[in-house]
Amino acid sequence: MDRSDSISLFMMPSHKPIRVLFVCLGNICRSPSAEIIFKHLVSRQNLSSQIISDSAGIIEYHRGSSPDARMLTALKNYGYTDPGLKARPVTFRDLSDFDYIIPMDYQNLRDLSDMDSRGRYTEKFLPMCNFTESFTDTEVPDPYYGGTDGFNHVVELLEETCANLLEFIKSKHSLS
């Protein structure tokens, strides 16, 4: 190795990115919306190289599907664009690969806990509504069987919870 190689190695970042996984039932409404909003916030704060995120569903029924069109419309109305996400199921490997796993509701939390039968990853599970301050919701409601107001409510709730989650991560990892 010559001097330039050692300088290049020295200048490489010594930390791996913080990884966040958003989880809902089918990965077509709530968790992809959280991913889209969170990525937007991370990008606006120039933290994309330090924090990466993904989303997944408990069930694999919608594998490969785009987010629900009604959810994409609600997101668009709030200024978010569709990055072409495709639904995928949560895998056991996700439990070890991600630093934070954010279930949208208590059933998602129970399902994740069932996947983690030995309890090795439970400290990574942080329910999304733990990060709300102005909403009374204890879970992100599933808007799938409702109307436009439900989708809009989810976007508004996720805007606040994603912003607060990002501040939590920045504080915990001393990011500016």
Answer yes or no: 105 catalytic.
no
- The pair of three-digit structure tokens given for residue 31, joined into one six-digit string: 């968790």
Torsion sign, CA atoms 48, 83, 148, 111:
negative
Beta carbons within 8 Å of 157's beta carbon, 6+ residues apart: 129, 132, 135, 137, 140
Alpha-carbon distance of 173 to 85, in angstroms, equals: 27
Q: Is 30 a catalytic residue?
A: yes
Q: How far is Cα 23 from Cα 35, in angstroms, rounded to an integer?
A: 9
Alpha-carbon gap, residue 104 to 144, rounded angstroms: 13
Residues 90/58, Cβ–Cβ less than 8 Å: yes
Name the strand (E) or helix (H) holding 83. Answer: none
Retrieve residue 128's tokens. 């999304």
Q: Please pick, among 54, 68, 94, 142, the residue that the annotation labels catalytic.
A: 142
- 30, 68, 105, 111: the catalytic one is 30
Mark whether 110 is an active-site residue: no
Q: Is 100 helix (H, G, I), strand (E, B) or coil?
A: strand
Give the residue numbers marked as catalytic: 24, 30, 142
